[in-house]
Every structure is written in C-alpha cells, then in structure tokens.
C-alpha cells in the first residue's frame, strides 16, 4: 500500500474491506445481508468525514500560502492540488453514478419504510451491469478509469523527487485482479479472476455497493497522501465506532470425512488496545491480527455445526462476548478411478491409473497399496501405476491422511501370446500358402496381439530366442538346422523343388517396460511351407 504509518481511519477502512472480502466467501443469509448493509453505512459515514477533511485541507493550504506572501512555489502547489482534486472528483462521480444505477436497476431502489435497499440479495443484475456479456460491463470501464487515475498520480506526483515520496515509491493499482492479490496466489478457483469477476461475480447488490464505496475511500486516501506532500498538513479524521459484529469465514461449507475443516473467526472492528479472546466449541483458538484460526478434523456425516465465542473489551473496560454459530456439511468421500489403458489390467505390466476424490478437491493427498502386485505413485497427485503379479484380480487401496477413501478391484489378464510369422529380410510377411524359393534372409518374427499392443504399446516388446527347422523330402527328414535368433539359413541345405520345411519356434521372450524378461508360451509355435 502507498504511504507510511496508517491513520486510525485508514486502519478501519482496511479492516472493513478485509471483512467484506471474507463475507463474500460465505453462503449469503439474511443475517449476513444485514452485515453488508451496516458495513456499507459505516464506509459511507467514514467517507463523508474523509472527503470533508480533504476539502478543508485545500482551503487551509490556500490560507497558508496567502499568509506566507503567495510565494510562487506555494501558488504552484495550490494549482496542482486543485488539478488533483478535479481528477479525483471525476472518478469519484463515476463511482457514485454506478452506485445509483445498481441501487435503482438491481436493488429496486430504496424502501421508504426501512430506508434500505429493497432487493439486497440480487446478484444476476450486478453481473449483467458490472461484468456484462463478453466481459464488456461497466466494471471494466471503472478499472480503466482507476488505472488511469493511479497512473496519473505516479507520473505527476510519485515521480516528483521534490515532494519526497521516496526513491521507489509508487501508488498501487486500485483495480487489481486476484492474480495480484497475495491471499489468492495458491487458490486455484479464485486466482485467475480479473477485477470485474473477483469483485462483482456472484455478488449481492449490497456487497457491490460496499465494494464501490471502498474504492471511493481509496481515492480519497490517495488524494490525501498527495495533499500532505503539497503542504496541506495533517488530514487525520478520527473515527469512533459503536457497533461490533462477530463473523466467521469458512474455507468450505462442505467437507469430506478425514479432511481438515478450516475457517476464520473474527470481528469487523476492534480497538488496537484490546486483545480479543476466541474459542470454538469451548476450545481456545490462535488469534492473529484480530482473526481467530479455526481448524479441526471433520468426522461423522451430514450437517454439522460449531459455535464460536469472541470476547473483547467493551465500554468501560468490561468484557463483551459475541456468539456465532456456523453450519457445515460432512460428506463421505467417493473415489473415482480412471484407466489410460481401459480395463482390464495385464499381469507383470505397468498399468497407469488416475484416482481422484472430488469431495477432497485440491486437498487430496493419496497413499496407495495393492495386493498381488505393487503400486508405483505417479508424478501427479492421484496418478498411480499398478503392476499385478498374478492374473485373476488385484485390489487397489487408497488412503488420505491415514484414512481409507476407497478400494477398487480390477480383473487381471495374462499377457496374450504374440502371433509368429515367416518374414523376409525386410521384415515383411511371406505368403506360405504357395511354394517359395529357398532364399536367404528368411526369419521368424513375433507380432503382438492387436488389442494388447493398442492398450500398452510399451509392454509389447518381443524377441525370438530359438528356432529349429527340418527339411522333408518324400515324407522323410533329409536335413536339420537351428538358430538362436530366428534367422533361417536354407542355403546351407541341398534343397530341391517340392521339398517341405517345418519350423518350430522354441522360445520367445517379452521385455516389460520395467526391463524384466518374461518367457512367452505360444499357442501355435509351428510354421510349415513348400519350396519351389
């Protein structure tokens, strides 16, 4: 944030905006809606005081310059201050118009009896106006104006070394997307939302009004920082608040058994001199920067509830305790298993699987076990490779944080034997239905089963380890030969047209993707043909 030590008003505004952000993460109820209304009223009240203080500062600056004899430097600062206030007022007015449009077109206007917005929960209209079709809503125009304003401040004032802002000082953007907000850095759902979607997507109109009021507060805060540097003096406006609200913000309202439940328990405003004490279900919780950190392991099933208590110093130094109840739901995790190789699995092969438990989401941290084989965890969480040691069945067990989330049984098939054929020197299949010449370069070649090869191509690696062949003439054996690698050398035999050759494949090995050799038993290890 720009600036040094924050004033009490600035600290309160920042605290209120933190509360607003947390409230948007909750399931909106009528009670929460009231908090939005009160929050916006507090912001509006603070904004009036800050704006009055800023206007009075310019008047004081003019009197000061006049009293000092209207020095050129002083008159120049007045001119720059007036230009600054015109630019601030222009953007401020644009936001005012947006607030009026949302109040009238989305909120249905102000109820004269309650003096509050008629339809505070309406969300769709907010998205229509602020986000729009194709991301062309008014929030994008607002972002452009806020960015232009901040750019103007940085170029006109922050870069002016005579004002003393500091060597590397810059006013931060007022319309950040979640990628530029540290708390969303690791939030897969929220981190990619731009300014419009982060602030006005699925947002009730009363919350949208509070967000816009907060942006107006930021405008005045930036304006005040520049006015100070121009000689306007102290602009602090002390703010007193007399209403305090207890709130809870949960990371998720639906949690799987075995998953850690997390929530923030806090109050919307506090004195820096009073230390709040907080508990949930009677257990003390750690309090940091006014926020209690609630964590416990969910158990049971169905709707659950926890109770938070916040004790802080009230008027006269007496303790004031606020009570808040928060509902959540525990669901039993359901494991989903997908197979790249489709089902079934194959014995002594690497069968890749993907597991997931949607109820656990990104918190899923699985451990694997398998009977009749082994499980090899993959590079990605949830990925696992099964290597069954026997055919029949094997069962994959998955645990998360030491708690079982499911078991899946798979059918395991043996690797189907390859088909062997007589090939030429180029590897092409020789047609043995007709007599063939006694040429050199004949060889026995194994061909994988098509389904197995298409399923696990890295496992379909075969080589011939031995063949024997016999030359027959007139029904009698007239010569024999052997080969350790499947090559057939008929040229070494005195062959004649009409001779028959029978080849017996004595051995074929499969090398698995794990580098293990496995002997293969062929269904048809014989090949016979005639010579011409």
Q: Is the pLDDT of residue 268 over 90?
A: no
The lowest-confidence range among 125-129, 280-284, 528-532 is 280-284
Given the DSSP bridges, would you call strands 302-313 and 277-280 parallel, antiparallel or unpaired?
antiparallel
Q: Which residue has the tokens 């939005």?
A: 36
- The pLDDT value recorded for residue 512 is 94
The pLDDT of residue 146: 95
On the question of pLDDT at 356 being above 80, the answer is: yes
The residue length of the chain stands at: 532
Min mean pLDDT across 32-36, 77-81, 295-299 is at 32-36
User: Cα–Cα distances in Å, from 295 out to 203, 263, 265, 326?
Assistant: 27, 7, 10, 13
Q: Give the pLDDT confidence score for residue 155 in this predicted structure.
A: 93
Q: Could you tell me what percent of the chain has a pLDDT over 70?
A: 81
- CB atoms closer than 10 angstroms to residue 256: 24
Q: Is the peptide bond before 193 cis (omega within 30 degrees of 0)?
A: no
pLDDT value of residue 24 = 47
CA-based R_g, the chain, Å: 39
Measured between alpha carbons, how far is 316 from 229 in angstroms, rounded to an integer?
Answer: 39
What are the Cα distances from residue 115, in Å, to 32, 41, 98, 110, 481? 18, 12, 19, 6, 106
Mean pLDDT score of the chain: 82
Note the pLDDT tens digit of each residue in 238-264.
434 445 556 666 655 556 666 677 776
Task: Indicate if the pLDDT at residue 141 is higher than 50.
Answer: yes
Q: Are strands 351-356 and 336-339 parallel, antiparallel or unpaired?
A: antiparallel
Residues 99-134 have pLDDT tens digits of 999 999 988 988 787 677 888 888 889 899 999 988
Query: Do the beta carbons of residue 470 and residue 480 sit within 8 Å?
Result: yes
Q: What is the β-pairing status of strands 277-280 and 254-256?
A: unpaired
80 φ/ψ angles, rounded to the nearest 5 degrees: -70, -35
- Taking the C-alpha atoms of residue 420 and residue 426, their distance in angstroms, rounded to an integer, is 16
**pLDDT tens digit string along 65-105?**
888 888 888 898 889 989 999 999 999 999 999 999 999 99
User: C-alpha distances in angstroms, 66 versus 73, 100, 312, 525?
Assistant: 12, 39, 49, 112
432 vs 378: CA distance, rounded Å:
47
Strands 392-400 and 403-413 turn out to be antiparallel
Q: Which residues contact 17 (CB under 8 A, 6 or more apart)?
A: 214
| Confidence bin at 458 (pLDDT 50/70/90) | very high
3-state secondary structure of 466: strand
pLDDT for position 275: 65
If phi over 0 gives left and psi between -120 and 50 gives alpha, with beta otherwise, what is residue 282? left
pTM: 0.44
Three-state DSSP class for residue 354: strand
- Top-confidence residue, 284 or 330: 284
Q: Domains of the chain (ranges plus CATH)? A: 8-232 (no CATH), 247-331 (2.60.40.10), 336-413 (2.60.40.10), 419-530 (no CATH)
Confidence of residue 7 (pLDDT cuts 50, 70, 90): low
Buried/exposed code over 342-371 (b: 16+ C-beta within 10 A; e: otherwise): eebbbbbbbbebebbbebbeebbebebebe
In b/e form, how buried is each residue of 493-505, taking b as 16+ CB within 10 angstroms? bebeeebebebeb
> In 3D, which of 458, 471, 457 has the Cα closest to residue 514?
458
The DSSP secondary-structure symbol of 350 reads: -
pLDDT given for residue 502 in this prediction: 96
Inform me whether the pLDDT recorded for 341 exceeds 50.
yes
């Amino acid at each position: 944030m720009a600036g040094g030590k924050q004033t009490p008003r600035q600290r309160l505004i920042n605290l209120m905006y933190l509360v607003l952000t947390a409230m948007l993460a909750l399931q909106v109820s009528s009670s929460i809606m009231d908090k939005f209304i009160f929050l916006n009223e507090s912001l509006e009240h603070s904004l009036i005081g800050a704006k009055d203080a800023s206007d009075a500062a310019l008047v004081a600056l003019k009197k000061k310059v006049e009293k000092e004899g209207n020095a050129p430097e002083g008159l120049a600062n007045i001119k720059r201050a007036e230009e600054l206030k015109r630019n601030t007022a222009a953007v401020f007015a644009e936001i005012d118009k947006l607030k009026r449009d949302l109040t009238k077109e989305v909120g249905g206007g102000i109820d004269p009896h309650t003096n509050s917005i008629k339809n505070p929960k309406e969300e769709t209209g907010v998205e229509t106006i602020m986000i729009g079709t194709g991301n062309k809503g008014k929030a994008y125009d607002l972002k452009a104006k806020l960015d232009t304003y901040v750019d103007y401040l940085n170029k006109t004032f922050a870069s002016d070394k005579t004002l003393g802002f500091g060597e590397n000082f810059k006013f931060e953007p007022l319309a950040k997307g979640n990628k530029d907000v540290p708390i969303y850095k690791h939030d897969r759902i929220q981190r990619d939302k731009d300014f419009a979607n982060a602030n006005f997507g699925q947002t009730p109109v009363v919350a949208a009004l509070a967000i816009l009021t907060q942006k107006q507060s930021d405008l005045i805060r930036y304006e005040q920082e520049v006015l100070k540097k121009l000689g306007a003096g102290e602009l602090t406006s002390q703010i007193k608040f007399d209403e305090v609200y207890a709130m809870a913000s949960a990371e998720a309202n639906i949690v799987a058994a075995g998953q850690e439940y997390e929530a923030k328990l806090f109050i919307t405003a506090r004195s820096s001199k009073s230390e709040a004490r907080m508990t949930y279900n009677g257990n003390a919780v750690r309090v940091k920067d006014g926020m209690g950190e609630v964590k416990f392991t969910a158990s049971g099933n169905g709707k659950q509830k926890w109770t938070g208590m916040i004790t802080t110093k009230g008027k006269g130094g007496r303790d004031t305790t606020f009570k808040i109840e928060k509902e959540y739901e525990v669901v039993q995790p359901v494991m989903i298993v997908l197979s790249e190789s489709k089902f079934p699995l194959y014995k002594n092969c690497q069968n890749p699987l993907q597991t997931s438990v949607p109820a656990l989401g990104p918190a899923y941290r699985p451990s694997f076990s398998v009977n009749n084989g082994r499980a090899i965890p993959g590079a990605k969480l949830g990925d696992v490779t099964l290597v069954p040691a026997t055919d029949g069945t094997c069962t994959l067990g998955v645990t998360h944080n030491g708690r079982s989330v499911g078991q899946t049984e798979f059918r395991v098939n043996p690797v189907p034997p390859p088909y062997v054929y007589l090939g030429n020197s180029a590897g092409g299949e020789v047609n043995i239905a007709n007599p063939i010449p006694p040429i050199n370069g004949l060889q026995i070649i194994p061909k994988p089963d098509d389904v197995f090869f298409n399923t696990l191509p890295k496992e379909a690696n075969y080589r011939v380890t031995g063949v024997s062949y016999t030359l027959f003439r007139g029904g009698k054996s007239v010569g024999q030969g052997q080969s350790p690698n499947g090559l057939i050398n008929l040229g070494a035999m005195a062959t004649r047209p009409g001779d028959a050759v029978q080849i017996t494949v004595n051995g074929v090995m499969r090398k698995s993707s794990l580098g293990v050799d496995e002997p293969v038993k062929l269904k048809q290890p014989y090949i016979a043909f005639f010579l011409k």
